[in-house]
């Protein structure tokens, strides 16, 4: 269904940032997200009680940009997927966001590209916009040959079973309409949530649009994924299982 285009000033966008030990990255990331925004925009950080005090940096930013920055500090719950879902729920239910975006918090994903994702929704009629490494104009400089190869295999398997509307099912750099996120809740304990979300969205007939982005090495701190081959294989198995389940579930 073709949607009527809106102007960016009609839509509140909330960028959800799930954090754990990103003290050195979160301040510059918040500033970059807000400084590049083309819409009424806020940032909601969901921090899993980071030992490095990430939440303290967010509180400092809240004093400077009180109307644009909010913090959820979770002490009794942890995990990427549940953190993003908590942020989505509050962005829509508490703050009234019409579009929710999220991304990794290590500065590997360019916050300056968020407006491209938002425009794909509010101006071009997409229901979900995906930052993609695997379409022309995109790329991955952050990961080594092994990780890129496994990503290529998993994404081509996903395209085979779930549809070629999406080339980067493991992106994690997403913007979506609130109405889509009310209908599709995130499932999974790590990156497989993205495959699940995009696969179900395609099956439900939502319009998914990709925009290219260049993934670069994290700015600071230690990566939380891909520590070794075993780590990649364990996560890869979960990804393959998720693809199969989404394809064949009723």
Rounded Cα distance, 210 and 212, in Å: 7
Note the pLDDT of residue 250: 46
* pLDDT above 70 as % of the chain: 90
Q: Which residues make Cβ contacts (< 8 Å) with residue 10, sequence separation at least 6?
A: 98, 122
To the question of pTM greater than 0.85 for the whole model, the response is yes
Domain ranges of the chain: 10-248
Choose among 181, 231, 244, 224: nearest CA to 19.
224
Helices (H) and strands (E) in the chain, counts: 8, 9
Q: Determine the Cα–Cα distance for residues 208 and 141; give it in Å rounded to an integer.
A: 25
pLDDT value at 2 more than 60: no
Closest of 124, 142, 125 to residue 133, by C-alpha: 142
In the chain, which ranges are continuous DSSP H helix?
23-35, 54-64, 80-93, 114-122, 145-162, 178-183, 192-203, 229-248
Backbone angles phi, psi at 157, to 5 degrees: -65, -40
Mean pLDDT over residues 219-225, rounded? 63
Local structure of 235: helix, strand or coil: helix
Please tell me the number of Cα atoms within 13 Å of 212 on its side-chain side. Answer: 8
Q: Give per-residue pLDDT as tens, 82-109.
A: 999 999 999 999 999 999 999 999 999 9
Higher pLDDT, 132 or 224: 132
- Spell out the long-range contacts of 50-53 with Cβ–Cβ below 8 A and sequence spacing 24 or more: 50/19, 50/20, 50/21, 50/22, 50/23, 51/21, 52/21, 52/22, 52/23, 53/23
* pLDDT value of residue 1: 46
pLDDT for position 222: 62
- Map residue 26 onto helix, strand or coil: helix
String of b and e for 219-250 (b: at least 16 CB within 10 Å)? Answer: eebeeeebeeeeebeebbeebbebbeebeeee
Between 121 and 224, where is the model more confident? 121
175 vs 198: CA distance, rounded Å: 11
Indicate the SS3 state at residue 29.
Answer: helix
- The span from the CA of 41 to the CA of 82, in Å, is 22
Given a cut of 80, whether residue 16 has pLDDT beyond it is: yes
Express as a percent the part of the chain with pLDDT over 90. 80
Q: Which CATH class is domain 10-248?
A: alpha beta
């Amino acid at each position: 269904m073709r949607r009527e285009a809106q102007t960016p000033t009609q839509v509140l966008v909330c960028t959800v940032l799930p954090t754990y030990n990103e003290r050195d990255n979160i301040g510059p990331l918040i500033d970059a997200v807000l400084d590049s925004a083309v819409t009424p925009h806020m940032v909601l950080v969901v921090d899993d009680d980071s030992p490095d005090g990430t939440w303290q940096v967010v509180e400092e930013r809240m004093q400077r940009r009180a109307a644009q920055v909010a913090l959820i500090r979770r002490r009794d719950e942890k995990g990427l997927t549940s953190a993003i879902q908590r942020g989505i729920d509050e962005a829509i239910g508490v703050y009234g966001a019409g579009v929710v975006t999220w991304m990794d918090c290590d500065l590997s994903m360019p916050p300056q590209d968020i407006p491209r994702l938002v425009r794909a929704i509010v101006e071009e009629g997409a229901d979900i916009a995906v930052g993609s490494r695997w379409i022309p104009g995109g790329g991955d400089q952050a990961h080594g040959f092994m990780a890129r190869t496994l990503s290529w295999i998993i994404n081509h398997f996903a395209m085979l079973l779930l549809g070629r509307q999406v080339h980067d099912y493991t992106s994690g750099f997403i913007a979506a309409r609130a109405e889509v996120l009310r209908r599709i809740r995130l499932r999974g304990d790590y990156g497989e949530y993205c495959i699940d979300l995009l696969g179900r969205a395609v099956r439900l007939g939502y319009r998914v649009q990709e925009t290219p982005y260049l993934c670069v090495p994290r700015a600071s701190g230690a990566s939380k994924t891909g520590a070794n081959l075993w780590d990649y294989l364990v996560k890869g198995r979960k990804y393959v299982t998720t693809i199969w389940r989404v394809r064949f579930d009723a």
